[in-house]
Structure 1
Amino acid sequence: MTVPIVGMILFPLCLLLWARPFLMLQILLLVGILPAAAALILGGMGVQPTMVPALAFMSFVLLQWVLGVRYPGDRPVMALCFPFIMVVTWTLLASFIMPRLFMNEVMVWPQKTDAVGGRVLLGPSFGNISQDMYLIINAVFLVMAARFLTRSDIRIERLYSTFLLSGWCVVAICVWQFGHRVGGVPFAEKFFYSNPGWAVLDTQVAGPVPRINASFSEPAACASFLSEILFSSVWIVLQGYSVMGAKWLIPASALALACTTSTTGFITVGAEICLLPVAAIATGAHRVLGNITRLMLVGAAISGCGILVLVTVAPQVVPAAKFVFQSTTEKKDSQSYQDRSQVDHDSMSLVGETYGLGVGWGSNRASSLMPGLLSTIGLVGVIGLLVFDWKLLRAAMRTRIAIPPGPERLVIEGLIPAIVGRLIAACLSSPTVGFLDFYLLIAMLIAAIARVSLRRATAVPQPQLMRPDMPVAAAEHYAMAEPDVCMRREGVP
């Protein structure tokens, strides 16, 4: 057992601040940018840094629950989480049943392909157990965090500001690594890449241009994170929210994403740009369409001026940029793309071979999200996830319309594009979205919706109970009014 530098910092810090659960969530968002690091190394496996503040937070909340502490939004949170809980239940059952039901009948890609070099026959494995453990922790954490964040004394918008701060941290690490790759500036590889379970690709180049992966295992993972930061900050700025550093985070994250030269990042940003006017029309924010046009014109003008200055100062950038563009457009001809496509094709074939039931969670590892989900949890699990997503999105849209601009609406406006951006990137090049910081974003969105529903429920006036003298007063009033009505019927003025 080894404790890397990240663990030496996190363990005493979380122990010291254990009684401050909200601060634990902020720490989790910040260390979420260190997926290639490890807080603890057990054999050949590394414990992710986010696991330390997450377990500290869950232990504190669980102790409060045992002592009788309840949160105001327990019921609305559980109502929103119910479809997800059902999917998790099905996933856990299927991970035990399906590998035994279809044992030695289908071929799967195992979790660790380096040991076998290809597909193997399906059967129960340690991957089922390990992935089930991660799923249970993620699901329990999501529910606990969502319920905890419904407390009225918590300023949930501060947690969203911490999310944007993590984006600034990644931008700074990108600049640091770029200086290391180009100018030889010392870089803390041992700090950022201490997890032995990850294959870190930190020496890749695109022709003469170094590919930046920052604190992530590969440039595509870094680009995926930056795309959700970019999409979230763009949307809240277009909506007119004044969040510290959000405007400057747009060009900073866009420039850092360009340094990754990741095809996944470029396609994700292109999809997000296409979704901006659709989102503006769908949400009824028609004034945002004008802001989108102005933002695109300003961005194009700044980009054009910057390109002219860069070409004038460093003419060698032109052939490098041309090489990056060609490598991006010719991605389909690369061997890596063909290998990943073959893995996804093999994973999709498992859906038909298992009659839509899947091979069980943890039994197969695809190259992108949808083939990975369909091949493991089957059509039942994917349909359940779509129901959960639709229910959550519909509740968020209704809540957004029902309230004026404020903390909860800021969180809803900022987190929906962030979650969508992460899912788009995962559908392109990630087999899962099982990181705890992503589940915390979903918990924040659920908590914001629940907080608004609680506030509206308390604002509705309760029906007044009838007093004992009310029937008598009503009868007297009717008796006084009846002669007058009769006289008018008879024509008496």
Structure 2
Amino acid sequence: MSLPIMGMILFPLCLLFWMNPERQIQLVLIGGIFPAAAALILGGICVQPSLVPGLAFLSYVALQKILGARYPGQKEVMYLSGPMIFNGVWAVFGSLVMPRLFHNQVLVWPQKADAAGTQVLLAPSFGNISQDGYLVINIILMVLAAQYLTRNQIDMKKFYGAFVVAGWMVVFICFWQFAARTAHLPFPKEFFYSNTGWAVLDGQMAGPVPRINGSFTEPAACATYLTGVIFSSVWLTLKGYKFRTIKPLIIAATLSLCITTSTTGFAALAIGMILLPFMVVATGAARLLGRLGQFAMIGAVVLGMSTLIVVTFAPQVVAGVQKVSADTASKKDTASYKERTQADTDAITACMETYGLGTGWGSNRSSSLVPGLLASVGIIGCIALLIFDVRLMLTAKTALTVAPGSDYCLVIEGFIAAILGRLIAALTSAPTIGMPDFYVMIAITIAAIARVRMMARQSAITPQAPTALAA
């Protein structure tokens, strides 16, 4: 057993703030930007930094539950979380049953690539147990955090503040690493990459340009997180919400994403730009189309000026940009792209060969989100997740109508945009999203929606009379 530097920082903080559950939740959001680090190493098992404050929070709330504490929005939270809870139960059930039911009948890619790097016949494995453990903890954390945050005296806005701080920290680390790789500044790899269970890709190049992964395991993972930050900042700015530093964060996070040179990030941003006008209309905010046009013009001016400065003072960067663009355009011809595509195809095949039931949670490793879910939890689990998404979006839309412009709406719209950004990126290059900070973002969103629904019922407020609640 060893305690890395990250653990030396987090464990004392969690002990210090054990009686302050809100601070623990903020630490989960900030700890989520360090997935390549470990807070504790137990043999071959590495504890993620965000899991330490998450477990500290769960211990506090569990003690309160044992002592008989109840939170005002428990029923609302259970209603909103119901499909996700069902999916978790189904995933655990499938991990126990499916590898035995279809034993040696289906080929799967194991969770960690073996020495041969080939598919293996489906059988019960340690991956079922370990992945079940992460999933159960994450769902329990989501539900209990959402319940706790329905308390009236909690300021929901400060959690979005923690998310913004985390976004700025990622930006700082990305540019720090870029300076380290170009100007040879000191960069504490031992601190950021202490997780021995992950292969950290921190030395990749795109022609003459270094690929930046920041505090994450690879450039694509860093770009996925930054996509959520950009989506959230842009959406709140377009909607006219006032929150310190999010406007400059848009530019800083976009530049950080660019130096990752991640195709995943570029594709997610492109999809976001295409979806943005439709989202504006779909949310009933068509009046923002004019603001969207102004936003695009400002972005074009900033991009043009930045390009002119770079071409004038650093012409060597142009060759690097051309190389990155060429590599991105020819991505489909690379061996890695073909391997990823094959893994997704094999995942869908495994789903079909199990009659849509899936191979069991933790049995198969894919390249992108949808094939991974189909292979793991099957059609039933995917339908449950779809119901959860639809229920969350419909209730969020109602909450935005009931309490327009309130802090609750800022939190709901800000975190939903961040979640959507990470989901879009995961659709292209992530088999699953299993970080505790992602589930905490969902929990905060659920809690904000539940608070609005409870207050609307208590005050008998309808969507036509929102002023009392909004104030």
SS at match of 2:273: helix
Residues 109-162 of structure 1 deviation map (CA, whole Å, 9 limit, x = unaligned): 001113442111110011101111111101100000000110111001110111
**Quick one: distance in 2 between partners of 1:294 and 1:92?**
49
> How far apart are residue 176 of structure 1 and its match?
0.3
Task: Name the residue aligned to 1:35.
Answer: 35
Asked whether the 8 Å contact 2:403–2:409 carries over to 1, the reply is yes
TM-score (norm 2): 0.97
Runs of at least 5 residues in structure 1 that lack an aligned partner in the other structure: 462-493
Question: Is it true that 1:307 corresponds to 2:307 in the alignment?
Answer: yes
Asked whether the 8 Å contact 2:150–2:448 carries over to 1, the reply is yes
Task: Name the residue aligned to 2:133.
Answer: 133
SS at match of 1:377: helix
**Quick one: distance in 2 between partners of 1:66 and 1:339?**
49
**Quick one: distance in 2 between partners of 1:238 and 1:414?**
11
SS at match of 1:290: helix
SS at match of 2:41: strand
Task: Name the residue aligned to 1:8.
Answer: 8
Task: Name the residue aligned to 2:114.
Answer: 114
Task: Name the residue aligned to 2:158.
Answer: 158
**Quick one: distance in 1 between partners of 2:108 and 2:443?**
33
> How far apart are residue 45 of structure 1 and its match?
2.1
**Quick one: distance in 2 between partners of 1:203 and 1:114?**
23
> How far apart are residue 20 of structure 1 and its match?
0.5
Task: Name the residue aligned to 2:181.
Answer: 181
> How far apart are residue 370 of structure 1 and its match?
0.6
**Quick one: distance in 1 between partners of 2:309 and 2:22?**
46
**Quick one: distance in 1 between partners of 2:300 and 2:106?**
51
> How far apart are residue 235 of structure 1 and its match?
0.4
Task: Name the residue aligned to 2:464.
Answer: none
Task: Name the residue aligned to 1:367.
Answer: 367
**Quick one: distance in 2 between partners of 1:80 and 1:424?**
22
**Quick one: distance in 1 between partners of 2:413 and 2:133?**
32
**Quick one: distance in 2 between partners of 1:162 and 1:116?**
43
SS at match of 2:46: strand
Task: Name the residue aligned to 2:100.
Answer: 100
SS at match of 2:418: helix
| Residue identity in the other structure for 1:28 | V
**Quick one: distance in 2 between partners of 1:390 and 1:299?**
32
**Quick one: distance in 1 between partners of 2:193 and 2:389?**
33
**Quick one: distance in 2 between partners of 1:115 and 1:455?**
57
**Quick one: distance in 2 between partners of 1:363 and 1:115?**
17
**Quick one: distance in 1 between partners of 2:377 and 2:424?**
20
Task: Name the residue aligned to 1:486.
Answer: none
**Quick one: distance in 1 between partners of 2:38 and 2:378?**
32
> How far apart are residue 13 of structure 1 and its match?
1.3
* Structure whose alpha-carbon radius of gyration is higher: 1
**Quick one: distance in 1 between partners of 2:16 and 2:116?**
44
Task: Name the residue aligned to 2:224.
Answer: 224
Asked whether the 8 Å contact 2:402–2:456 carries over to 1, the reply is no
**Quick one: distance in 1 between partners of 2:20 and 2:402?**
32
Q: Which residues in structure 2 correspond to 1:255-294 (within 5 Å)?
A: 255-294=255-294
> How far apart are residue 401 of structure 1 and its match?
1.3
**Quick one: distance in 2 between partners of 1:431 and 1:402?**
36
RMSD: 0.9
**Quick one: distance in 1 between partners of 2:340 and 2:272?**
23
**Quick one: distance in 2 between partners of 1:404 and 1:129?**
44
Query: Greater shift after overlay, 282-291 or 354-363?
Result: 282-291
| Residue identity in the other structure for 2:286 | H
| Residue identity in the other structure for 2:255 | L
Q: Which residues in structure 2 correspond to 1:437-452 (within 5 Å)?
A: 437-452=437-452
| Residue identity in the other structure for 1:131 | Q
SS at match of 1:153: coil
Residues 81-106 of structure 1 deviation map (CA, whole Å, 9 limit, x = unaligned): 11111111111111111000000111
Task: Name the residue aligned to 1:483.
Answer: none
Query: Greater shift after overlay, 406-415 or 178-187?
Result: 406-415
> How far apart are residue 427 of structure 1 and its match?
0.7
> How far apart are residue 287 of structure 1 and its match?
2.0
**Quick one: distance in 1 between partners of 2:397 and 2:228?**
19
**Quick one: distance in 2 between partners of 1:300 and 1:200?**
35
SS at match of 1:201: coil
> How far apart are residue 69 of structure 1 and its match?
1.2
**Where do 4+ consecutive residues of structure 1 move more than 6 Å?**
none
| Residue identity in the other structure for 2:203 | T
Task: Name the residue aligned to 1:464.
Answer: none
| Residue identity in the other structure for 1:62 | A
> How far apart are residue 404 of structure 1 and its match?
2.2
TM-score (norm 1): 0.93
Runs of at least 5 residues in structure 2 that lack an aligned partner in the other structure: 462-471
**Quick one: distance in 2 between partners of 1:134 and 1:317?**
42
| Residue identity in the other structure for 2:202 | D
SS at match of 1:46: strand
Task: Name the residue aligned to 1:485.
Answer: none
Q: Which residues in structure 2 correspond to 1:333-482 (within 5 Å)?
A: 333-460=333-460
